C-alpha cells in the first residue's frame, strides 16, 4: 500500500466514526454521472453485493443494499426480520442500543430492554438468564461496537447464549464491519457505506440468511424499507427499487476495492488498532485517561475524559484542534465530561502522531498543565475492569 494521503481538498481530518476521511480516489469516483438502470451501474451494484458477501464468507447468506443512513437499514432489519408477534431482547449500553429500542417502539414490536447504562457490556450469562426467564423472546439484538463509548461488546459469548437458548440474533455491526470479524451466528447483520469500508454516506447494507429473507415477505410496515422487496428486485433486475445514490454507490465500490487491496478485514483492523494504540499511548502520556481499560477498547473510537483543570474547556479544545487540522468528537457519557477520537478512515499512525502533537500544543495554548480527569472519572472507570 502507498502512504495514505492527507485530505486533498484542504479539509481537516475527521476523527469521527463516519462520515470519516475518505481517500482522494473514493472522492474522485463521484465525478461522473450514471444511469441507474444502465448495465454498467447494475454491474457496480452486483460487484458490491458480491464483495460484501465475500467479506463474511457465508454460503447461505445474501446481501441487500438500502438507501439512507445506517439507521434506515437498522429499522429495515428490525421490521423485516422480527415477526409481528415476535419479541425482542435489546442489549443496550449506549445511544445506538437505545435507538434500537426506540425503533421497535415505532414499529409496534414487543421488546424488553436490558439497559446497562453508558458503557457496561451485556454479558453472555446475563443474556442466558434473561432468555431463560422469558420464553416469548424470539430475537436478541446487539450492537457490535457501541460507538457512543467505543466499547467492543462481547458478541461471541452473546451469540453462544442466544444459540443455546434457540433464539435468533440480529447484529448492528455498523461501526465494526470491515475492520473486525463479526464473530457471531446471526440471522441478519447491518452496516453502512460510511464506516470501516471508508465510503461516503448515503446507503446501508444488510447481510442475512436467505431463508430469513424469504420469510420476511409482507412483514415490513414500510414500502421503502422492505428488505424482502428490495432483495427480490435486486435479484431479478440487478437494480435498486427506487433511485439509488448513484455517486455514493460508485464511490463505495472504489472504497471496497481499496479495502480488498489493503488486505481485507485483518489489514484494515490492524491499521485502525495501530491508530488507536498511538493515540491512546500519546494522550495518556499527556495525562489524559481513557474511559475503558485496554481490554475493552475498540480499534474504532476511543472515549477520553475531559481534564479536571479549571482552564480546560471542550469547545475551546475542539476549535483549537480544528485549526490544527483535526475534527474531534464530543463525548456521550452522562456522568463525566468526555470527548472521543475516532481511529477509522484514511489515516495511519503518522497522522495519529500529529493528533497527539496537536493535543499537546492545544493544552499549552489553553494553559492546562495537567490533563488528569476528576476523581469521579477514575471511580467510574474502575467499575469495569
Closer residue to ligand PLP in complex, CB, 184/368? 184
Among 192, 246, 338, 346, binds ligand PLP (CB under 6 A): 192
Number of residues in the chain:
385
Is there binding between residue 93 and ligand PLP (CB under 6 A)?
no
CB of 216 to ligand PLP, least distance (A): 20
**Radius of gyration (Cα) for the chain, nearest Å?**
21
Residue among 77, 60, 73, 44 nearest 193 (CA): 73
CB of 170 to ligand PLP, least distance (A): 12
CA dihedral defined by 22, 25, 29, 30, rounded to 10 degrees? Answer: 40
Task: Report yes or no: 4 and 351 within 8 Å, Cβ to Cβ.
Answer: yes
Window contacting ligand PLP (CB under 6 A); options: 47-55, 169-177, 230-238, 247-255 = 169-177
In the sheet that 301-305 helps form, which strands lie side by side, from edge to edge?
301-305, 338-342, 329-330
Report whether the peptide linkage leading into residue 94 is cis, meaning its omega lies within 30 degrees of zero: no
Among 18, 178, 202, 282, binds ligand PLP (CB under 6 A): 18
Task: Report yes or no: 12 and 338 within 8 Å, Cβ to Cβ.
Answer: no
Is there binding between residue 21 and ligand PLP (CB under 6 A)?
no
Closer residue to ligand PLP in complex, CB, 17/373? 17
Among 7, 70, 199, 202, binds ligand PLP (CB under 6 A): 70
Task: Report yes or no: 329 and 16 within 8 Å, Cβ to Cβ.
Answer: yes
Among 21, 45, 71, 338, binds ligand PLP (CB under 6 A): 71
Among 51, 53, 56, 69, binds ligand PLP (CB under 6 A): 69
Query: Which residue in this structure is represented by grid cell 445514490?
Result: 245
Restricting to residues 139-158, which ones interact with ligand PLP according to CB under 6 A? 143, 147
Is there binding between residue 303 and ligand PLP (CB under 6 A)?
no
Task: Report yes or no: 345 and 13 within 8 Å, Cβ to Cβ.
Answer: yes
CB of 188 to ligand PLP, least distance (A): 14
Closer residue to ligand PLP in complex, CB, 265/371? 265
Is there binding between residue 196 and ligand PLP (CB under 6 A)?
no
Closer residue to ligand PLP in complex, CB, 130/344? 344
Beta bridge partners of 114: 91
- How many helices (H) and strands (E) the chain has is answered by 13, 14
Q: Residue 326 CB: number of other CB atoms within 10 A?
A: 22
CB of 88 to ligand PLP, least distance (A): 16
Restricting to residues 312-351, which ones interact with ligand PLP according to CB under 6 A? none
The CA-CA-CA angle for residues 310, 316, 318, to 5°, reads 125
Closer residue to ligand PLP in complex, CB, 41/272? 272
CB of 199 to ligand PLP, least distance (A): 12
The residue number with the shortest CB distance to ligand PLP is: 70
Among 174, 193, 265, 280, binds ligand PLP (CB under 6 A): 174
Beta bridge partners of 67: 203
Please report the DSSP string for 260-289 in residue order.
Answer: HHHTHHHHHHHHHHHHHHHHHHHHHHTT--
Task: Report yes or no: 87 and 115 within 8 Å, Cβ to Cβ.
Answer: no
List of residues contacting ligand PLP (CB under 6 A)? 17-18, 69-71, 74, 96, 143, 147, 172, 174-175, 192
Amino acid at each position: 500500500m502507498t502512504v495514505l494521503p492527507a485530505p486533498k481538498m484542504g479539509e481537516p481530518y475527521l476523527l469521527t466514526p463516519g462520515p470519516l476521511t475518505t481517500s482522494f480516489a473514493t472522492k474522485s469516483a463521484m465525478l461522473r454521472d450514471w444511469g441507474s438502470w444502465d448495465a454498467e451501474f447494475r454491474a457496480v451494484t452486483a460487484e458490491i453485493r458480491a464483495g460484501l458477501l465475500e467479506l463474511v464468507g457465508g454460503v447461505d447468506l445474501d446481501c441487500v443494499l438500502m438507501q439512507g443512513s445506517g439507521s434506515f437499514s437498522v429499522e429495515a432489519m428490525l421490521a423485516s426480520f422480527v415477526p409481528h408477534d415476535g419479541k425482542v431482547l435489546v442489549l443496550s449500553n449506549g445511544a445506538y442500543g437505545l435507538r434500537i429500542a426506540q425503533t421497535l417502539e415505532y414499529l409496534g414490536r414487543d421488546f424488553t430492554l436490558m439497559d446497562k447504562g453508558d458503557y457496561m457490556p451485556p454479558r453472555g450469562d446475563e443474556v442466558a438468564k434473561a432468555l431463560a426467564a422469558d420464553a416469548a423472546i424470539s430475537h436478541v439484538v446487539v450492537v457490535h461496537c457501541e460507538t457512543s463509548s467505543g466499547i467492543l461488546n462481547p458478541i461471541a459469548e452473546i451469540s453462544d447464549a442466544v444459540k443455546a437458548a434457540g433464539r435468533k440474533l440480529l447484529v448492528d455491526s455498523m461501526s465494526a464491519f470491515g475492520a473486525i470479524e463479526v464473530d457471531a451466528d446471526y440471522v441478519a447483520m447491518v452496516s453502512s457505506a460510511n464506516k470501516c469500508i471508508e465510503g461516503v454516506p448515503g446507503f446501508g447494507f444488510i447481510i442475512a440468511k436467505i431463508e430469513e429473507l424469504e420469510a420476511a415477505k409482507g412483514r415490513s410496515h414500510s414500502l421503502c424499507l422492505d428488505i424482502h422487496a428490495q432483495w427480490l428486485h435486486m435479484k431479478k433486475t440487478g437494480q435498486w427499487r427506487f433511485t439509488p445514490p448513484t455517486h455514493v454507490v460508485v464511490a463505495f465500490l472504489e472504497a471496497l476495492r481499496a479495502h480488498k487491496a489493503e488486505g481485507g478485514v485483518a489489514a484494515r483492523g490492524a491499521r485502525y488498532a495501530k491508530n488507536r494504540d498511538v493515540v491512546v499511548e500519546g494522550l495518556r502520556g499527556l495525562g489524559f485517561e481513557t474511559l475503558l481499560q485496554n481490554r475493552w477498547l475498540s480499534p474504532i473510537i476511543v472515549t477520553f475524559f475531559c481534564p479536571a483543570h479549571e482552564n480546560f474547556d471542550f469547545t475551546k479544545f475542539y476549535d483549537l484542534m480544528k485549526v490544527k487540522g483535526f475534527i474531534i468528537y464530543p463525548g456521550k457519557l452522562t456522568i463525566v465530561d468526555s470527548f472521543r477520537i475516532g481511529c477509522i478512515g484514511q489515516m495511519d499512525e503518522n497522522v495519529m502522531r500529529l493528533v497527539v502533537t496537536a493535543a499537546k500544543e492545544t493544552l499549552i495554548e489553553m494553559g492546562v498543565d495537567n490533563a488528569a480527569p476528576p476523581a469521579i472519572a477514575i471511580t467510574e472507570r474502575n467499575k469495569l475492569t
